[in-house]
Amino acid sequence: MSEIYTVEPLSARFADFPVPAAGQAILSVSQLTAMIRERIEGYPPFRALWVRGEISNFKQHTSGHLYFTLKDRGAILRCVMFRSQASRLNFVPKNGLEVIAAGSLKVYESGGEYELVAEALLPAGIGQWYIRFEELKAKLAAEGLFAAERKRPLPYFPRRVGVVTSPTGAAIRDIIKVLSRRAAGVEVLVSPALVQGEEAPASIIKALERLIPWRPDVVIVGRGGGSLEDLQAFNDEKLARAIAAYPFPVVSAVGHEIDFTIADFVADQRAPTPSAAAEMVVPDRRELLERVAGLGRRLQLAVRRNYEKRRLTLDGLLARPWFRRPLDMVDLRRRRLDELWPRAEVCMEARIAGGRQRLAVLAGRLESLNPLAVLSRGYAVCQRPDGRLVSRAAQVVPGEELRILLVDGEVGCRAESVSLKTREGGYPFAVGE
């Protein structure tokens, strides 16, 4: 029996979904995936993610890339870590291991899936410590506690070195051994402290405070190597602030060279190991002795060279004739003086004669300006009794008393009459007639 199909209108099947509007584009799968990728990868919070989960489906490709899934009770997340980042891991990832992954969210278009591209991968416990470490590091850096300009230089010749560490650990033995070998005369003050556990930060702070009255030139704070958990005491915020505010230079020497703590960043100097810290704070006595000996040799050589130079200069002076026969130079200067003396006398007489001639000319000019010389030639000066000079006839009134100054005295008189001179030289009238 043949099957019978009922043909329904297309609109009846999608009655609850809107029909594409006129001109509306119908997307391809690639176009839709590209739109999703743009939205996901362009969302800022998805660019720096910290995700915690359990590893499953772990695979390591021959290229070195790692492919795995992070899962929890409610969901799974595909992850990939490329070879350049995977080569930096200090542990071996495996299924069932709980980790914290740091990375950004990407869309894998060929698979139609989104995935986390991991830049870092840490075991869950270590990851939590690492996150707190980075948060505290960023906070203190923003406050300027890591700034290079606030850090103090270490003294070159410290007389007293303080050490804050465990009194029973290997670190204190290494520090004392190095200090004794390099600078036997340095005084070492050991302030015991716990360097591991919850009470360690407070214990280290108290140990630092105990050293303050002793006024050490420099202080070493640290411990030997250990696990990341063992070093957490030196990532404490209160301890970091105590080191930053400490009145004396502090050298941080925590763990091994690859270990970094907050104390390392805030201290004035960071040493890779406790032994290296001891070498850093005091100079090596043998090196100093060798350096002093070298400077002594250089000084002797410089003195010898200077002596030779001065001796050659003196020999050159002694070889000169005037130095060997100084009286010859005196005789030569006397002869030269005898030659110059007559010339000097001639020059002086010429200068005196010229001066006398100029003086005579000036004296003649001055004499010509002397009013008494004019009077000696028969002239007179007419004045009123009050001393005012009479230079014109029009200034005199008949009957006015006058003083006539002559070369050898004065004559008092009275004006009988005054005659004014015309342009033609005659006297047409007399004043007072």
Residues 123, 208, single domain; the answer is no
**250, 150 contact by CB (below 8 A):** no
**231, 261 contact by CB (below 8 A):** yes
Which tokens in the block code for residue 94?
């495996």
Which of the listed residues 242, 258, 283 is the one where a domain comes to its end? 283
Exposed/middle/buried for residue 66 (C-beta within 10 Å: 0-12, 13-18, 19+): buried
Structural element, H or E, at residue 356: helix 326-368
Taking the C-alpha atoms of residue 281 and residue 178, their distance in angstroms, rounded to an integer, is 10
3-class DSSP assignment, residue 175: helix
Residues 158, 268, single domain; the answer is yes
| In a domain? residue 297 | no
Which of the listed residues 67, 102, 132 is the one where a domain comes to its end? 132
Q: What is the mean pLDDT of residues 6-14?
A: 52
Residues 224, 268, single domain; the answer is yes
Which residue stretches of 98-236 are H helix? 124-142, 170-182, 200-211
pLDDT computed for residue 391 by the predictor: 82
Looking at the structure of the chain, the number of domains it has is 3
Residues 195, 274, single domain; the answer is yes
DSSP 350: H
| In a domain? residue 345 | no
**Pairing outcome for strands 76-81 and 113-123:** parallel
| In a domain? residue 243 | yes
Quote the mean pLDDT of the chain: 85
Residues 123, 243, single domain; the answer is no
Residue 80 pairs in a beta bridge with: 67, 117
pLDDT category at 22 given cuts 50, 70, 90 is: low
Residue range 344-397, pLDDT digits in tens: 888 998 899 889 999 988 888 887 777 667 777 777 888 888 888 888 888 888
| In a domain? residue 347 | no
Residues 58, 176, single domain; the answer is no
Look-up: residue for tokens 């270590």? 126
**146, 265 contact by CB (below 8 A):** yes
Residues 36, 119, single domain; the answer is yes
pLDDT computed for residue 423 by the predictor: 57
Does the CA dihedral 354-356-358-361 come out positive or negative? negative
Exposed/middle/buried for residue 225 (C-beta within 10 Å: 0-12, 13-18, 19+): middle
Domain range for 241: 153-283
Taking the C-alpha atoms of residue 269 and residue 284, their distance in angstroms, rounded to an integer, is 18
Cα 247 to chain centroid, rounded: 23
pLDDT computed for residue 1 by the predictor: 47
Which positions ≥6 away from 27 have C-beta within 8 Å? 35
| In a domain? residue 188 | yes
Question: Residue 249 is which amino acid?
Answer: P
Residues 97, 215, single domain; the answer is no
Q: At residue 341, does pLDDT exceed 70?
A: yes
Between 125-139, 252-266, 353-367, 414-428, the lowest mean confidence (pLDDT) is in 414-428
Taking the C-alpha atoms of residue 226 and residue 90, their distance in angstroms, rounded to an integer, is 15
What is the CATH classification number for the domain harbouring 245?
3.40.50.2300
**119, 130 contact by CB (below 8 A):** no
Which tokens in the block code for residue 320?
């000169």
Which of the listed residues 132, 166, 187 is the one where a domain comes to its end? 132
Q: What is the mean pLDDT of residues 238-265?
A: 91
Q: What percent of the chain has pLDDT over 70?
A: 90
Taking the C-alpha atoms of residue 304 and residue 301, their distance in angstroms, rounded to an integer, is 5
Residues 229, 159, single domain; the answer is yes
| In a domain? residue 118 | yes
Residues 257, 165, single domain; the answer is yes
Cα 65 to chain centroid, rounded: 47
| In a domain? residue 380 | yes
pLDDT computed for residue 25 by the predictor: 75
What is the CATH classification number for the domain harbouring 117?
2.40.50.140
Beta carbons within 10 angstroms of residue 213's beta carbon: 6
Residues 173, 247, single domain; the answer is yes
Q: At residue 72, does pLDDT exceed 50?
A: yes
| In a domain? residue 57 | yes
Which tokens in the block code for residue 170?
């290997």
State phi, psi for 245 to the nearest 5 degrees. Answer: -90, 5
Residues 273, 188, single domain; the answer is yes
